[in-house]
Structure 1
Amino acid sequence: MTSAAATNWKQAIFIGLLLMTGIGPIVLLVGTVLGMAVAQSFGYFNFAGASGFSLEFWAKQLPSPLLRASLLYSLKIAFVSAIVSVALAYPIALWLRNPFPGSITLGALIKAPMMVPGLVAAFLFVNLIAFHGFLNEVLLGLGLISKPFRMQNDRYGAGVMLLQVWKNMPFALLLLGGAVRSIHTDLLDAARDLGAGAWARFRKIILPLTLKAMQAALVIIFIGAAGDYSFQAIAGPTSVSSLALYMYTVQHEFGQWNEAAVVAIVLMATALLGSLILAAAAHILFGGRRA
């Protein structure tokens, strides 16, 4: 082996060791938890009886209408929250692209929800929309309604989606804002000089050049919204649960650890497949466009 090849091998080993110090513990911990959840769903690590391979818990949960309803509800919340958050973040990112007096302060205020814990945000939201909350009291005081009306725990999960968008739109703005600012002004000016309108510039230049940031925002927001517990527990509908809340109910109320592990696997698979679908759809719709 030549000295150059030996040096390359040493560098590769050194880089690998550096990566392992950071990635290794993460992979170990995540892999351990994931492996235990999969094993538990098949009857191992059974805290309520004998452990051993069994498909019983999958056979009980997969046909369950409660699991199916929770799956569809979580998918709806996650897809709507991710798409609406990104759709709202784009015009704000374009607006803040060129600095103006107060733009830094305004941008910081818009990103403020990122600093509010989800459970605190849910409680604040409930105070706003409760039967005798701030919004109802204001409407009563203005004479717009004769009696309070119920907005909390609506059957469609609109309150949860509103909370998700309020919490996640600033994160999408953080990702998209950097991508939008990286686009050279000369490129947009050239497109304008060639007759491209605002929508054409957005569709053929901005969207393709910010595709990676858009995909990242969609995927991260979708995964977080699909696995939401706090917003659902405080402000969600009472007629249906999210997958996370349903998993907690199966374990806490009925003591079925193995069936709860099945729900956990379904939740993780939903988050993975849904995020891949969103990223692929964004690439198909916008990835092939060029100015």
Structure 2
Amino acid sequence: MKLWLLLLPGLGSIVFLMGSALYTIMIQSVGLHTELGASLDYWSDTLSDPILFRSIEYSLRTSVLGSLGAVILAYPIAMWLRKPIPGKTAIIGLLRAPMFVPGLVAAFLLINVISFHGILNESLLALGVIDKPLRITNDKFGWSVVMLQVWKNTPFALILLSSSINSIRSDVLDASADLGASAWANFSQVVFPLTIPALQAALILIFIGALGDFAFASIAGSRNVYSLSVLMHYTATAYYEWEKAAVIGLVIMVLSGLSAILITLMTRPFANRTRPVISASFLERSHEK
């Protein structure tokens, strides 16, 4: 009983806030608060609209690429920071700087970097890599949003992965290297499986945040296809269809939950994978000796 009393303030507030928000959006999605009463027409109209499915495709694409890009970029940095290097504290602080920049401010700042006449295009033109500026911002595919998501979320992925990588004992890595494991085998067969829980947490949290992100999508996103968050915003504020906006909000929540389950199921086998890290050439040399 005392344990429940200790959990009640924190757990109770979370359940109350999440439960009340979920209840409100659910009754709003069926129009229960209107004079006409409950109706599933809002669901049928929204789910039959091709604009919604284009938004789902766009949001899933940018979220998947953004979360994967952040994690892929964070892994080598985390492995490098594991080593004793001069100025390590300053480097870590610099790498975490994007976390302290609000998303809306970051979007405006990075737009100047990747815009048609931004720093990136001007640098590529000066180096002779391209003949004319590339239109990266507001592109139909969503590369500008992906770049912003990677820049913003890499420090968060770095924190989770670094703590997991640093928990691996050095003698474990040294032993596999002494047994003939290459650097790639050491990472793929030792480090990667041991950091799967941190990888799962990073992918899930970054993906869900990117899926519901509004700041980056509204500024740097496509002007032909809206993300789910932008579509929900315009549906509610421009067309005053709050019931359909609630349906889109529930779609985002369902996609977030399904994606979390899918990420967990897809990454779990890598944690249980057991393969020899000793190279065959090393065994042959040892046998000859």
Query: TM-score, with normalisation over the residues of structure 2?
Result: 0.90
Which residue, 170, 181, 203 being the options, matches 2:188? 203
Match of 2:12 among 13, 21, 24: 24
Aligned equivalent of 2:111: 126
> What is the distance in 2 between the residues matched to 1:95 and 1:145?
32
Once the 2 structures are TM-superposed, how far is the Cα of residue 201 of structure 1 from its aligned partner? Answer: 1.5
Match of 2:31 among 18, 38, 43: 43
Amino acid at match of 1:287: A
Q: How many residues align?
A: 275
5+ long unaligned stretches in structure 1: 1-12
Which deviates more from structure 2 when the two are superposed, residues 266-275 or residues 145-154? Answer: 145-154
| Structure 1 residue 131, shift from structure 2 partner | 3.1
Partners of 1:143 and 1:187 lie apart in 2 by 46
Q: Is 1:117 equivalent to 2:117 in the alignment?
A: no
Change (3 A) 1:145 1:179: closer
Contact 1:204 1:290 in 2 (8 A): yes
Q: What's 2:41 paired with?
A: 56
The reply to whether residue 171 of structure 1 matches residue 171 of structure 2 is no
Alignment of 1:1-291 (within 5 A): 13-46=1-34, 50-138=35-123, 148-284=133-269, 286-290=270-274
Give, in whole Å, the separation in 1 of the partners of 2:129 and 2:154. 30
Task: Specify whether residues 177 and 145 from structure 1 end up closer, same or farther in structure 2 by C-alpha distance, changes over 3 A only.
Answer: closer
**For residues 12 and 196 of structure 2, what CA distance do their matches in structure 1 show?**
30
Amino acid at match of 1:116: V
Share of identical aligned residues, percent?
A: 47
Partners of 1:242 and 1:43 lie apart in 2 by 24
**CA contact under 8 A between 1:171 and 1:217: conserved in structure 2?**
yes
Offset at residue 18 of structure 1 (A): 1.1
For 2:138, what is the secondary structure of its paired residue? Answer: coil
Contact 1:36–1:45 (Cα < 8 Å) also in 2: no
Q: Describe the superposition over 1:191-224 as per-residue Cα deviations: whole angstroms up to 9, x where unpaired.
A: 1122111111112211121111110000000000
Measured against aligned partners, the alpha-carbon deviations of 1:207-256 in whole angstroms (never above 9, x if no partner) come to 12111111000000000000011101000111101100001111111100
Aligned partner letter, 1:262: V
TM (norm. structure 1) is 0.89
8 Å Cα contact 1:119-1:231 kept in structure 2 = yes
